[in-house]
Structure 1
Amino acid sequence: MTRHKCFISYHHEDQDEVDEFIRTFDHERDVFISRGLGPEMSLDIINSQNTDYVMSRIRELYLKDSTVTIVLLGKCTWARRYVDWELQSSLRSGETVTPNGILAIKLPSFPKDAAFPNRLNLNLKQSDDQLDCYARWIEYPTRKDTLKNAIDAAFNRRNTHKAWIDNPREKFSYNRTCS
């Protein structure tokens, strides 16, 4: 079984659920290898207000060896600038850069009326008229094979669905208010 290196994007208020997800599916069930920002993140990223610099550091230090970005969705994930920046960096493509596959997962605490991050929405199927899209989302997995299949599909879409990427240059310069 191939274990993909997955960058985990999330809002720090969901840290307990994120830690449980990583413990269950990376450490115990060996579905993926987690990468991401967290307590080990260097202070130069935290203290910088230069978004281009922050995004380049995220790419260089945390995204460079990952192939799939998993966005763990909580109540206020949509409002966080780092989630927007991480998605923008993950979706970046070019001659020497392959985008990460994108898989969003609703955490158990995700409210029925909560929003998805806008950059994620831009890459999801918006209507029945639309033929396809780049990203996918799933409910919180209870089975190892459900998550593995979703990660494999996101990994494969990096090549088969690259034309569907919608990644505008504009990005959050500050966190949104979430109540």
Structure 2
Amino acid sequence: MAIVRRKCFISYHHADQDEVSQFVRSFDHEQDAFIARGLGQEMSEDIINSTNTDYVMSRIRQLYLGDSTVTLVMLGKCTWARRYVDWEIQSSLRQGESTTPNGLLAIKLPSYEQGQKDFPDRLNKNLKQNDAQEDCYARWMAYPSTTDQLVNAIEAAYQRRTTHRKWIVNPRDRMGYNRQC
């Protein structure tokens, strides 16, 4: 059976660029597990030159999120503190009459410290918080050890776009500034 390669928007903190680039090289370029969309060395060459954050977010939605179906949040030590990661997750979770949200899957990078529990707040809001909650929208995983493991997790996130969208938590407020890590 052929693998369906989903278009995945890659959200990450640029301090983790080397690990993210290795992830994209390994799983997109070499293993064909997904099609990477986003900003970075291993992805598109399109650069958005502007200091206007509304314009930048609009262009990211148009150029990268618009044709992606799953957002992969690459978790490093300080990912939780980055405003652009929050904004990208917020854009990914948008839904409406003619808008289907992206599936949301977080992946711990190899440098993610053992025992660390700092996820971006908007991601946390979409993860199961306690036993009282029936289910949730997002999932997280350790760094994949096989291509099949990653493909299955991406496909599950893709399916949750319709089967679990009622559990999306996406407040309108967004992070104004990066936090201290």
How would you bin the TM-score normalised by the shorter chain? over 0.9
Whichever residue aligns with residue 38 of structure 1, its letter is: G
Pairing of 1:68-147 with structure 2 (within 5 A): 68-111=70-113, 112-147=115-150
Report Cα offsets for 1:58-112 as digits up to 9, x if no partner. 2111101100000000000000011000000000000111100000000010012
- Give identity over the alignment, percent: 66
Whichever residue aligns with residue 125 of structure 1, its letter is: K
Alignment check: 8 A CA contact 1:105 1:140 kept = yes
Q: Distance in 1 between matches of 2:100 and 2:55?
A: 20
Q: Distance in 2 between matches of 1:54 and 1:172?
A: 15
Q: Distance in 2 between matches of 1:41 and 1:125?
A: 36
Partner of residue 149, structure 1: 152
Q: Please report how far the alpha carbon of residue 128 of structure 1 lies from its aligned counterpart in structure 2 after TM superposition.
A: 1.6
Structure 2, unaligned runs of 5 or more:
none
Whichever residue aligns with residue 90 of structure 1, its letter is: S
Q: Distance in 1 between matches of 2:104 and 2:91?
A: 11
Whichever residue aligns with residue 68 of structure 2, its letter is: S
Among 24, 27, 34, the residue aligned to 2:26: 24
Q: Please report how far the alpha carbon of residue 132 of structure 1 lies from its aligned counterpart in structure 2 after TM superposition.
A: 0.2
Q: Distance in 2 between matches of 1:43 and 1:2?
A: 30
Whichever residue aligns with residue 140 of structure 1, its letter is: Y
Using the size of structure 1 for normalisation, the TM-score is 0.94
Partner of residue 159, structure 1: 162
Using the size of structure 2 for normalisation, the TM-score is 0.93
RMSD between superposed Cα atoms in Å: 1.2
Larger displacement relative to structure 2 (90-99 or 36-45): 36-45
Q: Please report how far the alpha carbon of residue 114 of structure 1 lies from its aligned counterpart in structure 2 after TM superposition.
A: 4.4
Counterpart of 1:70 in 2: which secondary structure?
strand
Counterpart of 1:56 in 2: which secondary structure?
helix
Whichever residue aligns with residue 3 of structure 1, its letter is: R
Partner of residue 43, structure 1: 48
Q: Distance in 1 between matches of 2:40 and 2:29?
A: 17
Q: Distance in 2 between matches of 1:75 and 1:20?
A: 17
Whichever residue aligns with residue 174 of structure 1, its letter is: Y
Structure 1, unaligned runs of 5 or more:
none
Q: Distance in 1 between matches of 2:173 and 2:162?
A: 24
Number of residues of Structure 1 aligned to a counterpart in Structure 2: 175
Q: Distance in 2 between matches of 1:42 and 1:19?
A: 17
Partner of residue 173, structure 1: 176
Alignment check: 8 A CA contact 1:76 1:114 kept = no
Q: Distance in 1 between matches of 2:76 and 2:147?
A: 21
Counterpart of 1:71 in 2: which secondary structure?
strand
